[in-house]
Amino acid sequence: MSHHDPFATLGLRPALDLDLQELESSYLTRSREAHPDRWSAELRGSDDAAQLAEALALSAAINDAYRALKDRWSRAGILIDRLDAGARDATRTLSPAFLIDAMELAESVAEVDVGAAPSLRDAIAGRVEEVFRAVATALDAGDARAAAIALHQSQYFRKALADLDARILASGESA
């Protein structure tokens, strides 16, 4: 079991469209098997602290893998890294045109009238889904760099959506 590959840690096939019920089931099964309480009872009275430390590390790795794979964006990043470990670092600098659009979107969120917020929210949520599809398409094509660029772009849209949701919540309107 690899502590560095969340898919291997949980015994799952690497995929963006991971079945969340399968993820949960695998997590619960492996978590029960590796739980430190189980091992500490078996090792009680033993001088093998190294085995207990390994059990604790395994349990932590299982928890970390579950958290990483449960979030679709994190899962996408893991899949990009599996294709090309340097792709995300190599694509951090986004085009000036995209950054200008992202800045204008952030300004729109900051200045939106609360009454118009639901419409803007729908538009941004649509952009989030659009960029997720771009990540998925690039991953399907084995293009780690294109997937990484789309993943970086998603951060701007997701932040705009979170900022808008916070404004809506603060105003007392529903999102």
For the four alpha carbons of 119, 121, 124 and 129, in that order, the dihedral sign comes to negative
Q: What percent of the chain has pLDDT over 70?
A: 89
Considering only the C-alpha atoms of the chain, give the largest distance between any 2 of them, rounded to a whole number of Å: 67
Query: In the prediction, which pLDDT does 1 show?
Result: 46
What confidence category does residue 19 fall into, taking pLDDT thresholds of 50, 70 and 90? very high
What confidence category does residue 102 fall into, taking pLDDT thresholds of 50, 70 and 90? very high
In this predicted structure, the answer to whether residue 152 has a pLDDT above a threshold of 90 is: yes
Query: In the prediction, which pLDDT does 3 show?
Result: 52
Query: In the prediction, which pLDDT does 28 show?
Result: 95
Query: In the prediction, which pLDDT does 171 show?
Result: 85
Which domains does the chain possess?
Answer: 6-70 (1.10.287.110), 87-171 (1.20.1280)
What is d(CA 53, CA 55) in angstroms, rounded to the nearest whole number? Answer: 5
Q: Can you tell me the mean pLDDT for 144-167? A: 97
pLDDT (tens digit, 9 = 90+) per residue, 31-83?
988 876 666 555 555 556 777 778 788 889 999 999 999 999 999 999 999 99
CA dist 88 → 82, 127, 152, 175 (Å): 11, 20, 8, 32
What is d(CA 63, CA 141) in angstroms, rounded to the nearest whole number? Answer: 30
**What pTM was estimated for this model as a whole?**
0.86
